[in-house]
Amino acid sequence: MSLFWRMFSLNAVGLVVAAALLLGPVTVSTPVLPAEAVVVVAGLAVLLVVHAVVLRIGLAPLGRLGRAMAAADLLSPERRAVVGGPVETAELITTYNAMLDRLEAERATSAGRALSAQERERRRIARELHDEVGQTLTAVLLQLKRVADRVPADLRAEVGQAQDATRAGLDEVRRIARRLRPGVLDELGLPSALRALAAEFTEHGLTVRPDLAPALPPLTPEAELVLYRVAQEALTNTARHAAADRAELVLGPVPGGVELLVRDNGRGPGAVREGAGIRGMRERALLVGARFTLGPARSGGAGAPGGTEVRLRVPSAEAEAVRPSSAEADAEVRVVRPSSAGVGTAGLPVEGDTR
């Protein structure tokens, strides 16, 4: 029954009962007797209670819809208002859920285009750094070597310092180019790229233990890139902000796909506000239909109490091929927020982003 007919029926029943009492044998004395006053007050109380109960039941779905609208997040597709209540309310909730589906589909499409453009720009900058700046520094280094063989002995130390500075600059340019676009990912595949990433962070004071399965289900190029970027961001945040000295980088097959786990023994995620780092990982996960989870380490990061773990479960190429294209079948994303104080590790931005 619709909300209109519920309220109309209740009011009609009250009015009919009142009219029947006026036309019936029931009368009210003048002055009103105590027994008659009790009957009138009791009847009015019953009518008001029934009216309040009907309104409460009829308007409860609208309250649920309001709470769902207040907590709506386009990066969390599983959050939907429960359809129920009278016909008008159910239609309103259904329309709202359909609107969220359209908004999420449009957001996913826009985010995919933006991230694709970002990756193309990264690839272009990395290529220019390697081909232009790298070759220029290499030529300068060779010229300094020829000069060092001809300069007087008292100037060789200064020329040597210039050689060392140029060599350090060349190494830094190559490192930046690798971080912008890892060539090993395109040439040798995801396991080799993750192993090189772990070795790179190990050189900077953080011991990263890679545990990569030798055989993985086939993945799309987009899924491999998302796995690499999430691992890169999580390890960067661990090295910068977690105060951790050990981390694990695990990649292995799971039913229907693969799962990436980055876990450290740092201070834990705490109750930090979600920033650009977490949202960036969530958006990347949505693009490939992945499940992203961030929270405290279940068994202690890298074998120690505390710590943070980032899990990313990505469907395989076969599962992605049969995945529905509707927004309701997009990635499931969940962020665990413990109440203990601390500083987040995987939720912080990478490469100069802000929270």
Please return the burial class of 220, using the count of CB atoms within 10 Å of its CB with bins 0-12, 13-18 and 19+.
Answer: middle
Instruction: Give pLDDT, residue 330.
Output: 40
- Tokens 């520094």 correspond to what residue? 137
Say what the pLDDT of residue 272 is.
Answer: 58
For 202-252, write each residue's pLDDT tens digit: 876 788 899 998 888 888 888 888 898 899 888 888 888 777 888 899 999
Q: Render pLDDT for 179-191 as a digit per residue (tens, 0 to 9).
A: 777 777 777 888 8
Q: Report whether pLDDT(301) > 60.
A: no
Kindly report the pTM of this predicted structure.
0.59
Check pLDDT > 80 for residue 78: no
As given in the structure block, the two tokens for residue 332 are 């499931």
pLDDT of residue 342: 35
Write out pLDDT tens, residues 26-38: 677 778 778 878 8
**pLDDT for 175 beyond 60:** yes
Residue 25, both tokens: 């044998």
Residue in this structure with the two tokens 């993945």, named with its chain if needed: 219
Task: Name the residue with higher pLDDT: 346 or 111.
Answer: 111
- Give the pLDDT score at 75: 63
For residue 270, the model assigns a pLDDT of 66
**Mean pLDDT within 130-146:** 84
Question: What tokens does 52 get?
Answer: 């309040």
pLDDT at 174 over 70: yes
pLDDT at position 250: 92
Kindly list the strands in the beta sheet with 333-335, ordered across the sheet, starting from the edge strand earlier in the chain. Answer: 207-212, 246-254, 257-264, 308-315, 291-296, 333-335
Q: State residue 269's pLDDT score.
A: 72
Which pLDDT value is given to residue 24? 66
